[in-house]
Amino acid sequence: MSPVDSAVGRLGGRAALAILALVQSAAVFGQVENERIYLSGRGRSDPVPWQFRISSGQRAGEWSTIGVPSQWEHQGFGAYAYGFEESSSEEVGSYALRFSVPSEWTGDRVALVFEGVMTDCSVSLNGEPLLPAHQGGFTRFSYAVEDVLRFGEENLLLVRVAERSSEPSVNRAERDADYWVFGGIYRPVYLESSPSTSISSLRIDARHDGDLALSVALSGAVRGELEGRVVEWRSGREVARFTAAVEGEEVELRQAIPGVSAWSAEDPFLYQLELVLHDDSGPVHRRVERFGFRSFEIDPARGLLVNGERVLLKGVNRHSFWPSSGRALDATINRQDAELIKALNANAVRTSHYPPDREFLAVCDEIGLYVLDELPGWHDAYATEIGRTLVEEMVARDHNHPSVIAWTNGNEGGWNRALDSEFSRWDLQARPVLHPDEIFGGIDATHYRDWAEMTEALDSRSWRNRWRGLFSPLPLVMPTEALHGLYDGGHGAGLEDFWGLLREAPRGGGIFLWAFLDEAALRVDEENRLDTRGNFAPDGLVGPWRQREGSFWAVRSLWAPVRVAMAGVSSRALELQLENRFDHIGLAGCRFSWEWLRLPRQAEGGEVVLARDSAPGPDIDVGATGSLTIPFPPADEEEGFLALRLRALDRDGRELGVWVFPVEGIEPAPSRRSEAKLLARQAGGSLFLESGDLVVELDPDSGAVVELSRGGRVLPLRGGHSAAEESRPVSRVERIDEQDRKGVRFHYGGGDLLTTTYSVDGSEWLSVEWEIEVKQESAVVGLTFFYPEEGVLGARWLGVGPFRVWGNRLGGGVLGVWEKEWNDTATGIQWQYPEFKGFHAGVRWMSLRGREGSLGLRLQEGLYLGLFRPAFAQGMGGDGKPLARHTEADQPRGDLSFLHSISSMGTKFHSAEELGPQGRGRLAAGVYRGRIWLRVEDEESR
């Protein structure tokens, strides 16, 4: 007995029973449907054990078991490799499985189907090789095995998988790329039986006007009738029935169905087609397929048209990836990703850089996402012969998904132009074919333009476009990768400028952000370390476990199909202005819910909900504005200020956005008074301000705080200098001695900081005021203090949160009471969110909790708060580019900064200044005044 037979024999019976339990069969009204036996699990979460041996790397040479589907690196076999860094890996995995099939299948057609194998796959069944061996890791392939199977008996399946292909173009297209590459049978494997006379394939072209065209391929000697029925997928209501005579192996049908509901991302209405093949003996085979009535076209004059109406694609690039299983996913992860993209208020996804799992496309059909379905080819293309096979496999699997509106032939030079016509050869719908990063098919998909380049591309009067327009219509502009979001840069930072350009330009088609997720592999060979391969892999709006990052919320806010602004306040109600930015539907299908809140004026208080209510959306058409009036709640005696929190929900109850509108002014000045003395005195070379238990020590030479204490509790706060310049010596000291206010004003000379004023008024808060003169445009302007971060534990604050902001990424947060624990997260290589450090907007008050006590802060409205210096990955990546487009010069000099303006964030390829007006934001020359209040918090407020 061979080692394989011995090993498989130990697995045999138990695995066969498990597999037979997965048999799917159905017979409806006597009509036979296909039956399926899964030889593997359905995904990563329910793998079936197969016998396995790897040729090299970890655990090389030993026969063991491995769960299928999986990537063998994540199961402790072989070695991890990252795309173009990969050495000439020659790992080969040998798989074996014994299984049984029911004797009732005798006489049926049986296909052995592999949904995805990386990369070359050679198969034998019961000692017979199944030909040809398959090359290419991302498409479904199958073999007819009815002549090889032993029905009612045990069968032996052997599969040999070579991680690196023997076809060089497959390696260049799929593996020599900028992403993790793996090996193994990573998608399901199953047997599927059908009657000897059956429907072998079905292609649907259903237009939004109800025009239905079908191309049906048949197996076996067929002479009879094909009966069709169209029903609504959710309700089951029949909308059409038809028949066609059958004679031969192909049937072409066209049927007009009046009154259908069109499918779109905003209203993903689905139907189901039921086809029954009859011969002289009656019904012999039934096939059911889900589809949608949908039209898509590229019109150079009107834009991208879905069902005849212009749409802008708000898209992301998504890799199929999970940290602990590589590209082996399951239905739960595929649905979660699609729902997250929908929650982003995106309406499109590009399946970079390969076709996704079929479950992902099914969810896109259900919830409404437009899909660019991509043939692999990162920077190099398949050879023509192998490419033709893979295009056919890709289109055959994904053809009937209404979510798929276009095919993309490779990426960034990875297109073989000889394959463009192959898509239309197999696609009854003749969907457009695009070349990412090229002008092709009526779309300018150029990647990573900066602001100036994007402006020129959209300007029909630019010299390039005037010249181009002499020969053909100008293309629509839709970058299929943009704003490379490395380490908290890009994505939300800079997107508002780009999106405004695309919305206003007649030739704007949309934008696809790079990328959806941080692609960090969980290294089982390195104590489960998350590995991003330096600055190659991390790029996402969400972390590897789908943690939502700051840019996620900023993009979600910008792409919300409802825009809300305060329009007015009367004695009885708050009036809001609503703008409808949907492409197809009015706001009447949405719902708005709200809460009236009392938000606290100080750290000791909490949020109080005074009233709740909701109402259907007003009838506002696409592109129009209208109003929503919300009555005030009954009068209350709660402390704090009144605010409205509004939520917009779509017809499925999915949240589109949250807004908080303060109705009453927020006075940041402390109101609690102390009867204790107010005093300003000088001793031992220092100036002291005292108010009750509060004592402030100031240095008269530098005008800086030396120490802040209260009741014996000392906080290590010091400084009070310009956030952008080195400190200057004091030129003059001015005493303030008023009845209810004592203090000192320092005057400086030669720098941007003109004065700082420290005073106490009996509230046990220290008031700090300043004047700064901006002599030339500056990004970071304000006052800064030094405060050791080692003792900080966390913060609680009232402001816009919970994430930090950048000068070109201010959106996404809402006003509220937030809390977060101290962390030093370097976004993209660590994933504790929200990040503690960075700029914060709209802060009214904050309690900065520490081991030595808590520092209380209050801010004048309009200031930003800078909390310490954000951490960024250090050094250079393997591609020679900086890890972050944000330098030390862009940050305040101190730890706690109170700022009139803040710096912006760039991307992997562009500085913030290159990304548009927001990235170049600077304060104009002039004098700016600000005020804050500081105190040592009460013990109970900690």
Rounded (5°) CA angle 293-297-303: 125
Does residue 768 contact residue 933 with C-beta atoms inside 8 Å?
yes
Q: What tokens does 172 get?
A: 């260049």
Which among 843, 842, 825 has a CA at the least distance from the CA of 834? 825
pLDDT of residue 86: 65
Angle between helices 384-398 and 358-367 (to 10 degrees): 40
Does residue 587 contact residue 606 with C-beta atoms inside 8 Å?
no
Amino acid at 882: P
Which among 364, 267, 354, 366 has a CA at the least distance from the CA of 315? 364
Global pTM value = 0.94
pLDDT of residue 922: 77
- Residue 900 CA to residue 643 CA, distance in Å, equals 25
Phi-psi region of 307 (alpha: psi -120 to 50; beta: other; left: phi over 0): left
- Residue 42 CA to residue 563 CA, distance in Å, equals 41
Angle between helices 550-558 and 492-504 (to 10 degrees): 20
- Helix or strand run (H / E) with residue 203: strand 198-206
Angle between helices 331-343 and 358-367 (to 10 degrees): 40
Question: Could you say which residues of the chain have pLDDT below 50?
Answer: 1-30, 669, 676, 876-878, 941-942
- Residue 404 CA to residue 365 CA, distance in Å, equals 9
pLDDT of residue 890: 80
Which among 70, 79, 317, 58 has a CA at the least distance from the CA of 178? 317
Pairing relationship of beta strands 853-859 and 926-936 according to DSSP bridges: antiparallel
DSSP per-residue string spanning 828-839: TTB--SS-SSEE
- Residue 885 CA to residue 454 CA, distance in Å, equals 20
447: Cβ–Cβ under 8 A, 6 or more apart, which residues?
412, 436, 437, 479, 480, 481, 482
526: Cβ–Cβ under 8 A, 6 or more apart, which residues?
none
In the block, tokens 């061979």 appear at 2
In eight-state DSSP terms, residue 174 is I
Give the phi and the psi of residue 635 in degrees, each rounded to 5.
Answer: -60, 145
696: Cβ–Cβ under 8 A, 6 or more apart, which residues?
688, 689, 690, 705, 707, 708, 758, 760, 766
Where would I find the beta strands (DSSP E) of 499-636?
510-513, 521-523, 529-531, 562-569, 573-580, 591-599, 608-616, 625-631
In the block, tokens 């030396």 appear at 706
pLDDT of residue 181: 96
In the block, tokens 């489960």 appear at 528
Angle between helices 451-458 and 492-504 (to 10 degrees): 10
pLDDT of residue 76: 97
| Residues recorded for the chain | 942
Report the Cα 241 to chain-centroid distance in Å: 41
